[in-house]
Structure 1
Amino acid sequence: MTNNRPTFVYDGDCSFCTSCAQFIERRIPTRATVIPWQFADLPALGLTVEQCEAAVQWVGRDGTTAAGPDAIALLLRDAGRIWSVAGSALGLRPIRAAAWPAYQWVADHRDLMPGGTAACAVPQNRQVNP
């Protein structure tokens, strides 16, 4: 699948995720469409519900995908200027190695993050690292 714009997909049922998406839309000048997976055409994007429940997703204009901190890195690189520096840094091997466990911890505890609610909690049986 090809698209004129990249797409960044997040969990619209999570208040913390929605707060982060609103920050992206207000502060990060990406060309990407930022959309909750619940309103996205997942088959057209080449994504599954399972992928979107597990992590944020990036779908490039050429259809390539990335998840979690790799998706965030691509979003930041797309934004240009200082954001691309942060996105490139996130792709560096030592930072990337630490980013995945940090991302997973935040995802597993998103109900405790600023803007998070009890509805954001990931059930214990769905957590990758409970």
Structure 2
Amino acid sequence: MTELPVLIYDGDCGFCTRSVRWAERLPVRMRVLPWQEADLAAYRTTRDRAQHEVLWVAPSGRVFGGAAAVAELLKSCRGPWPAAGLLMSAPVLRTLADWVYRAVAANRSRLPGGTPACQLPEHERPGRS
């Protein structure tokens, strides 16, 4: 598939972009792509999935979404971060992490850095036809 894992996010969402800028400062080697510029088929995912959750594409080609993507990102880091990723992947905490991720994703336009574009359907977003 690819040598480096790939983090795919919503490039139209200010909150998502700010979150990814934070993730880029973590001690991990990865490619970062807004889904709007990614060849999603090459990454074995769909536009619908990319519109609704952050995606982590492992070098093996396996695709993780939402909280699982965040956990995989953390597990790929150096330092103390892998422990946080492992905790997020533990059965009980995974359920909590999924719930928190869905709540944040559903309210991202209201969070710091959120933009009105986060609320619009894809075809109504600025710069889209």
Fold similarity call, TM over 0.5? yes
Q: Percent sequence identity over matched residues?
A: 39
| Alignment partner of 1:101 is 2:121 | no
Q: What does residue 127 of structure 1 align with?
A: none
SS at match of 1:89: helix
CA contact (8 A) 1:58 1:65 kept: yes
| Alignment partner of 1:10 is 2:44 | no
CA contact (8 A) 2:27 2:79 kept: no
Aligned-residue offset at 1:80: 2.0
Q: What does residue 109 of structure 2 align with?
A: 111
Aligned-residue offset at 1:81: 1.3
Q: What does residue 67 of structure 2 align with?
A: 69
Aligned-residue offset at 1:122: 5.7
Q: What does residue 127 of structure 2 align with?
A: none
SS at match of 1:45: coil
Q: What does residue 38 of structure 2 align with?
A: 40
CA contact (8 A) 1:57 1:66 kept: yes
CA contact (8 A) 1:108 1:121 kept: no
SS at match of 1:86: helix
| Alignment partner of 1:22 is 2:21 | yes
CA contact (8 A) 1:108 1:122 kept: no
RMSD across aligned positions (CA): 1.1
SS at match of 1:42: coil
Given candidates 78, 81, 94, the residue that maps to 2:79 is 81
* Alpha-carbon distance in structure 1 between the residues aligned to 2:62 and 2:115: 32
CA contact (8 A) 2:56 2:63 kept: yes
CA contact (8 A) 2:56 2:64 kept: yes
SS at match of 1:111: helix
After TM superposition, the score normalised by the length of structure 1 is 0.88
Deviations 1:32-78 (A, max 9, x none): 11111111111111111011011111111010111000000000110
More helix by share: 1
* Alpha-carbon distance in structure 2 between the residues aligned to 1:66 and 1:110: 20
